[in-house]
Amino acid sequence: MSGLRADVIGDQDALDGLEQHWWSLWSQCGSATPFQSPAWLLPWWRTFAPGDLSAIAVWNGNDLVGLAPLYLERHTSGLRLLPIGISLSDYLDILCAPKFEEAVGTLIAETVLSLKWSQWILPDLSGEAASLELLLPGIDESRSTCHAACPVLALAGDETLAGCVPARRRRQLRRALRAAQRRGRVTINRAEAAPEIFLGQLIRLHDARWAGQGGGVLTKSAIEFHRNALPRLAASHLARCWLMEIDGAVVGAYYGFHHRDRAYAYLGGFDPSYASESPGAILIGKAIAEAVQDGAREFDFLRGRESYKYSWGAEDRWTVQRVWTRSASP
């Protein structure tokens, strides 16, 4: 571990100052998702900042080779060390440059032990997460290997979806598109280049979808976060946003991501008065077809076991949660 050093970052400006180094590190990490990128986590911290920033940066000279974006939260049970991005992020993890992965993990663990906390909670770790290799000797740990289900569709074939989506679902999709076309001219256009316009439509449709039912996720603070994050995601070519119109009326919105060989379906909304035309399903079909064309191997529906995900042929992939507990704060 000679030559590596760890800094604990407790200042917003210092965290912002990591951005260029952070992108370089993130791009090296094969297990990293858009949820570990600075485009996602810097706006998250700036919007929510629910505790004391305690991010750990590991350096090799002037190169950032490790990053654990963490903060301390005061809880009735004591101080909890949590990952930045919790709740809104479907996957969480640390970043380690491949060449230094073992040494960086050891140094992050040592630095974490020097902080004052009663519990360190790392939820929603993918099966590839670097955090799965962390060791904290002498600290009690509990681990849940079935923490949250993220249904994933393996992609194959071409944009007809015949190689990956069940025949029944493809028939339903064709019927939905014909029903939409009977109501007027159907257009589906990419929209991340105009993030404010897209988010305005998504918010409107999402609110209409959940009006009087509860269950909507676009709170005032979440909207502020997405208004800061989406332009960054779009500029980094990570965002995939679509709007569907029937006769000029926007009836559906799809908000997702694409990174390397995986597409992610994050959020959607549709006009309930067009429910019979299934704009949400039509947009998912479009997103899957585009993901196939873009060379993705998988289409990740992210957390939640909603029945519609399985109708596309998705199968559960479970995240892991690790929790370390100290008997008393040091």
Domain harbouring 301, CATH code: 3.40.630.30
287 and 176, same domain (yes or no): yes
Residue 68 pLDDT > 80, yes or no?
yes
Question: Residues 76, 79, 81, 85: is their CA dihedral positive or negative?
Answer: positive
Residue 330 pLDDT > 60, yes or no?
no
Residue 238 pLDDT > 50, yes or no?
yes
Mean pLDDT along residues 44-71: 97
pLDDT at residue 328, rounded to an integer:
60
In DSSP terms, 82 is beta-bridged to 71
Mean of the per-residue pLDDT values of the chain: 95
pLDDT in tens, 26-55: 999 999 999 999 999 999 999 999 999 999
Residue 329 pLDDT > 50, yes or no?
no
pLDDT at residue 327, rounded to an integer:
79
Q: How far is CA 260 from CA 33, 99, 163, 235, 306, in A?
A: 9, 20, 20, 16, 26
Q: Which domain holds residue 131?
A: 4-145+320-325
141 and 161, same domain (yes or no): no
Q: Token digits for 59? A: 């350096």
SS3 state of residue 154: strand
51 and 193, same domain (yes or no): no
Domain presence at residue 330: no
pLDDT at residue 212, rounded to an integer:
61
Domain presence at residue 225: yes
How many domains does one find in the chain? 2
119 and 37, same domain (yes or no): yes
Domain presence at residue 227: yes
What are the backbone angles phi and psi of residue 186, rounded to the nearest 5°? -100, 130
Confidence tier at 141 by pLDDT (50, 70, 90): very high
